[in-house]
Amino acid sequence: MTNINTQPTLPESYKQQMESMLGEETEAFLKSFYEERTYGLRIHPLKWEQHKTTLEPIINAFSLQSVPWCDEGYYYDPNTRPGKHPYHAAGLYYIQEPSAMSAVQLLDPQPGEIVLDLAAAPGGKTTHIAGRLQGEGLLIANEIHRERAKILASNVERMGCSNAIVTNSDPDSLAERFPMFFDRIMLDAPCSGEGMFRKDTDAIQEWSPEHVTLCANRQWDIIQAAVNMLKPGGTIAYSTCTFNYAENEQTIERWLDRYPDFTLVQQERIWPHKQRGEGHYVAVLRRSGHLEDTTESSTTSGSVAMTSYSFGATSTRLEKVNKGKHKKSTGRKNHPSSSNAEAVYEQFVQWTREYMPNWQTPMSGKPILFGEELYWLPAPADFSSDQSNWLEGKLNGLRVPRPGLHLAHVLKQRIEPAHALALSLLEPTAASSSIQLSTVSDAAAILKYLNGEALLLDQDVQADSNEVVKGWTLVSIDGLPISWGKSANGMIKNHYPKGLRASYLL
């Protein structure tokens, strides 16, 4: 937490820059550095609506107050530490700086659309987009840095995103594969981070006028790739967490001069001396025309144009490309093929008949294997099987940390449900066997489970024998599915992932 009695030491050239921009407001702006920074969280709309009555007490517990520019956003009291609450582990909300919530609100993605988050880590805007898509359409979230892409994939999983693919690519490589493919693009551009000075002193040390110029040039390179991927008639939101003109308004002016088929719809700034936020800039631009106006379009009304692409022999490429990488990370043998994926998915379907009887195979997309990991590669609802194969082929050659919804681990012909599958569910009743824990009456059991310990029935928890049967059991907290356990001999064996086990607060 920021010490409100200490002002960070700001470079003189930065102060001069801000004075030239703000004039008489400069003093108020600089005084904002003495103030405590703001803290925010953004709720998962589907999980919240499904369990709103049960979960409403958290409004008081975290002292939540609405963020005026984001429908799903709330300020919270940092002393309540919602990031250490089990609801965070269950994907009910994402901790996000309030200013940053403005970008996706202005992008306004709609269910069923094809959306790209081009510079996505750590995942705040990606998971915001996913919430707006409501599980419909396709979201590709990309991050160029490998370690940050892993964090992105982890947050996408925690928030239960079922229709998102996470890629680890440079923008130009994506643009080569997906020309004019996306209805909307979020470009939260890497920037000089002037809006982060109050909470990150390292950003101050890195700042210089030369660094601003470097950032603006890098942003321009990324913009050109983004332009190539947006459909005619599509919308793009460009955002930064910095204040200077060079990375914001001047970059947009350059954009409009270079690409006359774009128009500026709106631009918004959040200032720390005017609003409760660290600072953000967002510009929304729209591309003119209709997709049918170009002969090189990659999609038609959300579907891949059959005349534009070859669909031959692409269905196993993604699996082969990731063979070595997955083996290195897990140490498991990896013999992927498309036919294997179909066969293993049928095994999974058989498993669901016993443990998730209401499971329905998605109308679009396809199963794929990464070694011993079974995923569902998502696709828009109107994609045919050939188009899903095309999508898989276009990911060929890219690093793909998360190729869709992780369904299961396949171990010696045995299905073990994935953690991500549990988090993608909205109700405990999605599973035939469930253990439902309450933060009011089962606090000790919840903390025990999240720390990796087994639960004893009739000792740690009082469970209905009709709800808990032998075998795989869905564990939920206040109605929020959080992971799996395996029931046998009066015990729930813990299958909460070892890398996530931690001490939480209740």
Question: What residues are annotated to the active site?
Answer: 241
Helix (H, G, I), strand (E, B) or coil at 179: coil
How far is the C-alpha of 237 from the C-alpha of 109, rounded, in Å? Answer: 10
What does 246-280 look like in DSSP terms, one character per residue? TTTHHHHHHHHHH-TTEEEEEEEEE-TTTSSSS-E
Pairing of strands 182-188, 230-240: parallel
Give the burial string for 386-422 (b: 16+ CB within 10 Å, else e): ebbbbbbbbbbebbbbbbbbbbbbbeeeebebbbbbb
Pairing of strands 373-377, 262-270: unpaired
Type of residue found at 174: L
With both helix axes pointing from N to C terminus, report the angle between 146-158 and 124-133 in degrees, rounded to the nearest 10: 40
Residue with tokens 């979201």: 139
How far is the C-alpha of 364 from the C-alpha of 380, rounded, in Å? Answer: 7
Sign of the torsion angle spanned by Cα atoms 17, 23, 24, 28? negative
Q: Is 488 exposed, middle or buried (0-12, 13-18, 19+ CB in 10 A)?
A: exposed
Evaluate whether 205 touches 198 at the Cβ level (below 8 Å): no
Nearest to 64 by CA among 90, 37, 93: 93
How far is the C-alpha of 162 from the C-alpha of 158, rounded, in Å? Answer: 11
Within 8 A by CB and 6+ apart from 497, the residues are 419, 483
How far is the C-alpha of 397 from the C-alpha of 318, rounded, in Å? Answer: 7
Residue with tokens 């006028």: 209
Would you give the distance in Å from CA 73 to the centre of its chain? Answer: 15
Question: Phi and psi dihedrals of 161, rounded to 5?
Answer: -75, 115
Sign of the torsion angle spanned by Cα atoms 309, 315, 320, 322? positive
Evaluate whether 40 touches 73 at the Cβ level (below 8 Å): yes
Helix (H, G, I), strand (E, B) or coil at 366: strand
